[in-house]
Amino acid sequence: MSVNVAVVGATGLVGQTMLKVLNERNFPINKLYLYASKRSKGKKIKYQDKEYTVIELTKENIANDIDIALFSAGASTSNEFAQEFVNKGAIVIDNSSCFRMDDDKALVVPEVNSETIPDKGIIANPNCSTITVMPALKYLSDKYGLERVVYSTYQSVSGAGMGGLNDLDNNLKGEKSQKFDDQIAFNLIPYIDKFQDSGYTKEEEKMINESRKILGLKDLRVTATCVRVPVRYSHGVSVNVELKKDFDLKDLIEGLSKAKGVVVSNEIHPTPLKVEGKDETYVGRIRRDNSVKYGLNLWIVADNIRKGAATNAVEIAQEILKKREE
């Protein structure tokens, strides 16, 4: 079955990677529509052996034969346009934070909750750091139960789009940041996104709330500190977990290594550079935390642009096709 696909934000870092992943997976595309802002109108983008002209995103320009639209152009663009695509018959997979916490929208990591994917409307792609930890936590939750989770993230500059990558490069040439509030080269910025009244940042609240929604544990005790690090691609997350029951570490590692979407890499330590370009989540440094009853420490890394964004969105699209074909 071939379908008509739109990529909204096709000139951006995630949009470009969506096209790369669609191509790698030979996604059965009939017609392809590439949308971006007015700035990119008329720009040419090659996909497989054909050249496509970027279309300015306006309500009038939304084609009425789109089956699946992959959005990665920021929350305000999604807010303004996603429903318009749905009204014209498309199913939207949205990479922004716009719809993630809506009760009537599925928030999907296919390895974890593909059964929640609807056959119409808007589906939300989770935050990149949330996606990184979900496959491993799903396994631990099902097998042992989760009592409490503490996240400390080490997030690459590409999480802030092209602007984040440019800041790192420009800082290295002695220039000031434009995207970040501070210099990121040779530095760490101990917050990501806007501060909330709680003292947490929006990024931290996303990780907390999205974890609860995806795992279906609305009362899960979970906290997060999100930090920007001077790394180009891949986010690392130090995860401290208290399980509900005791475990044999060897059995736990063996089980985790068989979990969907997880690669256990306890000897070859997962680093951002090693994981860049990969589609799985890499788990290492698995060890008991003896400071609490059934404690466990993990270090998890995933490519934030691929599994953390583009790959996850394309995998949702693949699930939709699979369901339609059944």
The binding site for phosphate comprises: 100
The CA distance from 17 to 21, in Å, is 6
- Residue 72 beta carbon to ligand A2P: minimum distance, rounded to whole angstroms: 6
- Residue 154 beta carbon to ligand A2P: minimum distance, rounded to whole angstroms: 20
Strands 50-53 and 55-56: unpaired
Show the site string, 112-151: x = touches ligand A2P by CB under 6 A, - = not: ----------------------------------------
DSSP state of 117: -
Report the residue from 68, 74, 214, 234 that binds ligand A2P according to the rule CB under 6 A: 74
The CA distance from 86 to 237, in Å, is 35
Count the residues of the shown chain that bind ligand A2P, applying the rule CB under 6 A: 17
Which residues between 24 and 53 bind ligand A2P (CB under 6 A)?
Answer: 36-37, 39-40
For the chain, how big is the Rg over CA atoms in Å?
20
The CA distance from 94 to 91, in Å, is 10
Cβ nearer to ligand A2P, comparing 114 with 158: 158
Q: Which residue is nearest to ligand A2P (CB)?
A: 12
DSSP state of 10: T
Vertex 235 angle, CA 111 and 288, to 5°: 75
Check: CB of residue 71 under 8 Å from CB of residue 82. Answer: yes
The catalytic residue positions are: 128, 235
Report the residue from 3, 5, 12, 280 that binds ligand A2P according to the rule CB under 6 A: 12
The residue ranges that bind ligand A2P (CB under 6 A) are: 9-13, 15, 36-37, 39-40, 57, 73-74, 77, 161-163
